[in-house]
């Protein structure tokens, strides 16, 4: 007889305290590996969200007025606390997201890159100064924080995305409200306690758990000055349009249907290994995961598919507690069912099932939300799965006859997050990087995600607004620039009236 799992009642984190929800409405949090409910998270009302915004507004002036160097010291302590509490943090991430330990550790490493960049905020918020621009006038520009800003984060990266969205915002002097995914709220609450221990003043970091009511309050409330969103394309479009309607600065990152082009001269063993990690890691629940491999030429495709079939058949799907697991479950039962339906439809529409993740034992016999690694060959543009972002381990092979055809195929797609090419031909790589209309491009790199000190964002339906998630653009996004022109006349100086610009003197 199995022992019942205790269900924990979670909270919000408002004004430096864990706060119980008032709505009496809760969402279930699952362990995806077992299918068991492990917690219940309160769903905030609009009124609760307004109270959180008011607390952040009250805390903002003192944090704004603290020197940027002192703010950076808090971030340095926070970084230390993450590394000091690594084991507990990794266990929390794995339990509520289903990630393997290796994947969770990699996520935390990427999260720390964002903290590291934010620690350098004193350099990134430096202004400009010009002496005697005319008429003994000096001009300078300075960056100031916006005030209260909000981040809305997805389930697939419980710590990396929230810290990528918020670390710089905090460092440059804003008060931040995080609306974490209700599917993975425990990591954000754990991080909240680390911010508290690091000395971040109460009200500067807030976690509000909720759904549409909380999100709409963040979008519409006049106190909130900026919104950073990461999620699906339809929701990203809604967030952008609604936030912009209410006069906010918005960057909303949507989905990705990322392609890997394989030229005939590429090392196919290397390509296959690169594809498997990039395609199936984290159960393919990454916006930068490779969804489609695009071999150029039938011979290339036949050889590559044969290699992939063998390698994919050896992948192990299971819980993060099991040794040798390559990837774990998807986030929910609904997600699993959606992925299996997408595979069924692709097969009905004529795709060839090379590796069938529906038939893996753990998929059929476990209560966990597992989907086995699936590879579909002979996928064409007419099939739904060719354009649909399947957020799970169902990957496609689209065969093309030339590099130009591959470029046209990719550029015709609505989503344009990431793309990569594998080749030993410099001319082919140059043509590809020049002509491809995608935000993040790799050459012989399986996942073209930039390091934390370079900007991250896609094109077209993968991004709404002009902000980025990683990189120095974060400092620009979360600050406003004030330009001052000043002149100090001498005590005996008199100035006649003039109708010219002062700097023309």
287 belongs to the catalytic site: yes
Give me the catalytic one of 287, 296, 346, 429.
287
Cα→Cα distances 176→12, 63, 111, 246, Å = 14, 11, 17, 18
- Residue 163: closest CA among 186, 180, 148, 139: 180
Beta-carbon contacts of 306 under 8 Å, excluding residues fewer than 6 positions away, are: none
What DSSP element (H or E) covers 196?
A: helix 185-198
Based on C-alpha coordinates, what's the Rg of the chain? 25
Report yes or no: 156 and 164 within 8 Å, Cβ to Cβ.
no
319, 33 Cβ separation under 8 angstroms: yes
CA distance 57 to 274: 47
- The gap between the terminal CA atoms of the chain, to the nearest Å, is 89
Q: Which residues of 9-22 are buried (b: 16+ CB within 10 A; e: fewer)?
A: ebbbbbbbeebebe
For the chain, give percent helix, strand, coil, nearest 5: 40, 20, 35
Residues 80 and 162: their CA atoms lie apart, in Å, by 18
Token pair of 371 as six digits:
């989907």
Q: Which positions are catalytic? A: 287
């Amino acid at each position: 007889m199995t022992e019942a799992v205790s269900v924990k009642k979670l909270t919000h984190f408002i004004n430096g305290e864990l706060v119980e929800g008032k709505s009496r409405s809760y969402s279930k949090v699952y362990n995806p590996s077992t299918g068991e409910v492990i917690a219940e998270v309160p769903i905030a009302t609009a009124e609760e969200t307004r109270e959180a915004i008011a607390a952040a507004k009250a805390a903002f002036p003192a944090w704004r007025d603290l020197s940027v160097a002192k703010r950076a010291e808090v971030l340095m302590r926070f970084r230390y606390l993450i590394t000091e509490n690594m084991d507990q943090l990794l266990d929390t991430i794995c339990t509520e997201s289903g990630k393997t330990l290796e994947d969770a550790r990699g996520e935390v490493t990427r999260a720390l890159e964002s903290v590291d960049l934010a620690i350098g905020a004193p350099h990134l918020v430096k202004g400009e100064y010009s002496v005697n621009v005319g008429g003994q006038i000096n001009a300078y520009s300075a960056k100031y924080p916006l005030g209260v800003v909000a981040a809305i984060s997805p389930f697939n990266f419980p710590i990396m995305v929230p810290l990528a969205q918020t670390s710089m915002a905090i460092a440059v002097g804003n008060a931040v409200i995080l609306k974490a995914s209700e599917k993975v709220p425990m990591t954000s609450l754990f991080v909240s306690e680390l911010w508290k221990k690091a000395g971040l003043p109460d009200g500067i970091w807030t976690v509000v758990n909720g759904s549409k009511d909380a999100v709409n309050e963040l979008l519409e409330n006049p106190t909130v000055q900026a919104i950073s969103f990461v999620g699906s394309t339809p929701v990203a479009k809604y967030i952008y349009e609604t936030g912009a309607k209410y006069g906010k600065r918005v960057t909303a990152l949507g989905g990705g249907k990322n392609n890997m082009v394989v030229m005939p001269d590429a090392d196919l063993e290397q390509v296959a290994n690169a594809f498997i990690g990039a395609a199936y890691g984290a159960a393919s629940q990454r916006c930068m995961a490779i969804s489609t491999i695009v071999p150029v030429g039938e011979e290339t495709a036949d050889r590559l598919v044969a290699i992939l079939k063998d390698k994919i058949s050896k992948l192990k799907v299971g819980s993060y507690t099991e040794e040798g697991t390559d990837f774990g479950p998807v986030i929910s039962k609904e997600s699993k069912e959606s992925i299996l339906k997408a595979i069924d439809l692709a097969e009905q529409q004529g795709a060839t099932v090379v590796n069938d993740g529906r038939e893996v034992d753990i998929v059929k016999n476990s209560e966990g939300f597992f989907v086995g690694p699936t590879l579909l060959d002979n996928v064409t543009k007419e099939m739904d799965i060719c354009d649909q972002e399947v957020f799970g381990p169902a990957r496609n092979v689209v065969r093309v006859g030339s590099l130009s055809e591959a470029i046209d195929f990719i550029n015709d797609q609505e989503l344009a997050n990431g793309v990569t090419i594998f080749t030993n031909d410099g001319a082919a790589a140059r043509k590809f990087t020049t002509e491809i209309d995608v935000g993040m491009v790799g050459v012989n790199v399986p996942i073209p995600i930039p390091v934390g000190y370079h900007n991250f964002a896609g094109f077209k339906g993968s991004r709404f607004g002009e902000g980025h998630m990683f990189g120095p653009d974060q400092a620009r996004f979360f600050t406003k620039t004030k330009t001052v022109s000043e002149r100090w006349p001498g005590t005996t100086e008199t100035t006649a009236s003039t109708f010219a610009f002062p700097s023309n003197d």
